[in-house]
Amino acid sequence: MKKLAVLLLTATLALSLPGCGNGNGENGGSQESSTESVSQTGTDQESQPTTDQESQPGTDQESQTGTDQESQPESDQPSADPSQEGISEQMGAIRQAVVDALGDNYWPDTLIPAEYLEGNGLTSEMYTDFWGEMPMISTNVDTIIVIKAAEGQLEEVQKVLNSYRDAKVNDTMQYPMNIGKIQASQVETVGDYVCFLQLGADTIDLEEEDSILHCQEQNGMALEAIKSVVGQ
C-alpha cells in the first residue's frame, strides 16, 4: 500500500509540474510584451512631437512669411518723373511749357548735366541755373538746353552754346535722317536765359529742306513756350 501511495503521489507531481511551467512562461511572455509595448509607446510619443509640432509648423510659417514678405511690393507710391529730378522749380516750369507746346513731338527724355558742356568752355561761374535734355537713344538727336547766365556772363554763355552747335553742324558722322534737324538748330537768348534748340521729332520721311523747315517750326514753338514762362 505504501508503494502504491508513493507512485500515485509521484504521478500527481509529474502532471502538475508542466502546468506550472507553462503558466510561468505565459506570464513572462505577457510581461515582456507589455514592456515592449510601453517602450514602443514612449518612443512614438517622443519622436512624433518633434516631427509634427516642432519642425512642420515652424517651417511652414517661416517659409510662408518669408514668401509673403518677398512678394509684397516695396511701395505703392508712383515714382517721380525722372526728367523733373535735380532741376529748379523755374526750369521745371519751362520744361512743362515746352512739353505742353510740342506734345508727342517732344522726344528728349534724359537729363544733361552741366558738366556735359565743360568741353565747350562752360564753367560753374558762368550760370546760376541749368537744364538740358536729350533722348536716351543715341540715334535721336533732339536736344534742348536752357542756361540762366550769371551777372556779366551772358556773352560767355552764348559763346559756349554756339560752340556746341558748331560742333554738331560740322560733325560729318551724323545719320542722314538727322542732318536737317541739326542744320535747323539754333541758339536764342531770352532775357538772362540762353537756349539751344534742336527739336523736330520724326523727320525720317522728309526731304532735307522740308526737314529743316519742320524743325525750325518746332524750335519756334519751344522758344515761345520758354518766353511765356520767363516773361519776355
Domain ranges of the chain: 1-71, 82-230
pLDDT tens string 32-72: 444 444 344 444 444 444 444 444 444 454 444 444 444 44
pLDDT, tens digit, 9 for 90 and up, residues 84-106:
568 999 999 999 999 999 999 99
Residue carrying the nine cell digits 560742333: 167
> What is the spatial distance between Cα 85 and Cα 91, in angstroms, rounded to a whole number?
11
DSSP 77: S
For the entire predicted model, the pTM comes to 0.65
Q: What is the pLDDT of residue 35?
A: 43
Alpha helices by DSSP H, listed for 50-112, are 56-71, 89-102
CA dihedral 228, 80, 114, 214 (to 10 degrees): -50
Mean pLDDT check: name the lowest of 9-18, 46-55, 120-129, 220-229. Answer: 46-55
Instruction: Please report, rounded to a whole number, the percentage of residues in the chain having pLDDT higher than 70.
Output: 63
By the 8 A CB rule, do 119 and 166 touch?
Answer: no
Q: What is the CA radius of gyration of the chain?
A: 47
Exposed, middle or buried, 151 (CB in 10 Å: 0-12/13-18/19+)?
exposed
